[in-house]
Structure formats: structure tokens, C-alpha cells
């Protein structure tokens, strides 16, 4: 599964959770600066070890299949349901049925945090202080292949393109360049 497809699948899952939690109060903003630290698992450690080391949920490996990602999502949504927060994603809520209280949703999210699927790339973004440099390497690779890619920091470190057409054309090439730039880091998630 390509990096882009995995990211879109993950974004769709997060959107479902956001809709489920509508009406809840936003998390308080932190005012102190946060410093990223490298807390990854040793090379060759399984994804669960990487997950435990970073405090993330179920880390989606770079080589995960659609079926494996679906299994991770299913386990997460089952946990939410078991903790009182069903969602339309798992087919449990019925149209017209009231949504669970925001407090119930928040409590279920906390209880299931260790099962929430999270992309290895997002783990790297939050924990690896070398992430911006590796992303610049990926942008350089894309430029060599004819794309006008650049790295932007806000709202989060990411690759950006000249326009949406170029963004759409970059798909598989971006995945290859990211894989090349992050090759040493990817090994820690397999």
C-alpha cells in the first residue's frame, strides 16, 4: 500500500472519530514549548515495541497491507464500542440514535489510546528531531524527478507542491522518495 493511500485511509479514520466526538470541548492549548526526542525502538524491533517506546497507539508499519490496517482499525473501534463510544465506522450506531456523551467519548478514547492506529510517518514527525532534514532529502529527490516539491513547517512538517495537480501526480514518486529518505528509520518499524 502506498504511503499516500495509507495517509488517506488514516485521515478518513480520524475524520470519523472527529464526527463522533462533535460537541466535545477542545483540548486545552499548551503554552510551553515541546521538544521532540528520539524514542524509537531498536533496529529490528517489532512495531509493538516501537509503539510502546513512543507512547503511540498501534503503529502502522510501512509495509502493512490493507487487511492489516483494517484489522488495526477494527480492534480500535471495537475497543471504543466496548467503552461506550460506538461509531458509524463499525456499523454499530443507527441513524437517529443519539450520539454518546462527549465525556463518554473522551473516556473511551483514553482507554483505547494504545489501540488507535497511527502511521509510522506521524510517529517520526512527532519524535524524530531529524524529521525535517529527512523530509528535505525526500523533497530533493522529488525535485530531481521533475516536481516542484518543498518542505513546509506549518501547521506541521510536510511536503508541499506547486498546485493540487502536481500533488496528485506525485503519488507513487513521493512514496518512493520518502522510502529512500527514511530508509534507515523505516527498518525500526518492521
pLDDT at 2 over 60: no
The answer to whether 112 and 68 have CB atoms below 8 angstroms apart is no
In tens, the pLDDT along 38-70 reads 333 333 334 443 444 445 689 999 999 999 999
Helix, strand or coil, per DSSP, at residue 21: coil
Q: What ranges make up the beta strands (E) of the chain? A: 58-60, 117-119, 150-152, 158-160
The answer to whether 129 and 70 have CB atoms below 8 angstroms apart is no
Q: What ranges make up the beta strands (E) of 12-138? A: 58-60, 117-119
Query: 492506529: which residue's cell?
Result: 117
| Cis preceding-peptide flag for 152 (omega within 30 of 0) | no
- Residue 33 or 160, more confident: 160
In tens, the pLDDT along 80-93 reads 989 988 766 655 55
In tens, the pLDDT along 91-103 reads 555 666 677 788 9
Q: Does the model's pTM come out above 0.75?
A: no
Give the integer Cα–Cα distance in Å for 50 and 75.
18
pLDDT at 79 over 50: yes
Identify the bridge partners of residue 118 per DSSP, sorted by sequence position. Answer: 59
pLDDT at 24 over 80: no
CA atoms within 13 A on the CB side of 18: 8
- Percentage of the chain modeled with pLDDT above 70: 65
Report which secondary-structure segment, H or E, holds 2: none
pLDDT at 167 over 90: yes
Percent of residues in the chain assigned helix, strand, coil, to nearest 5: 55, 5, 40
Please give the mean pLDDT across all residues of the chain. Answer: 76
Give the integer Cα–Cα distance in Å for 109 and 88.
16
Amino acid at each position: 500500500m502506498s504511503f499516500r493511500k495509507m495517509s488517506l485511509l488514516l485521515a478518513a479514520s480520524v475524520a470519523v472519530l472527529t464526527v463522533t466526538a462533535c460537541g466535545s470541548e477542545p483540548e486545552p492549548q499548551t503554552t510551553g514549548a515541546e521538544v521532540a526526542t528520539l524514542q524509537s525502538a531498536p533496529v529490528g524491533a517489532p512495531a509493538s515495541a516501537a509503539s510502546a517506546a513512543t507512547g503511540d497507539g498501534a503503529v502502522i508499519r510501512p509495509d502493512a497491507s490493507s487487511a492489516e490496517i483494517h484489522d488495526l482499525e477494527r480492534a480500535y473501534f471495537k475497543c471504543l464500542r466496548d467503552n461506550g463510544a460506538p461509531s458509524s465506522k463499525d456499523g454499530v450506531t443507527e441513524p437517529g440514535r443519539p450520539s454518546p456523551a462527549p465525556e463518554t467519548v473522551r473516556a473511551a478514547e483514553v482507554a483505547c489510546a494504545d489501540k488507535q492506529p497511527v502511521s509510522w510517518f506521524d510517529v517520526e514527525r512527532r519524535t524524530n528531531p531529524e524529521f525535517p532534514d529527512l523530509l528535505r532529502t525526500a523533497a530533493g529527490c522529488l525535485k530531481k524527478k521533475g516536481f516542484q516539491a518543498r518542505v513546509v513547517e506549518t501547521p506541521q512538517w510536510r511536503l508541499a507542491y506547486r498546485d493540487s495537480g502536481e500533488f496528485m501526480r506525485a503519488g507513487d514518486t513521493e512514496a518512493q522518495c520518502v522510502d529512500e529518505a527514511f530508509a534507515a528509520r523505516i527498518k525500526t518499524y518492521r
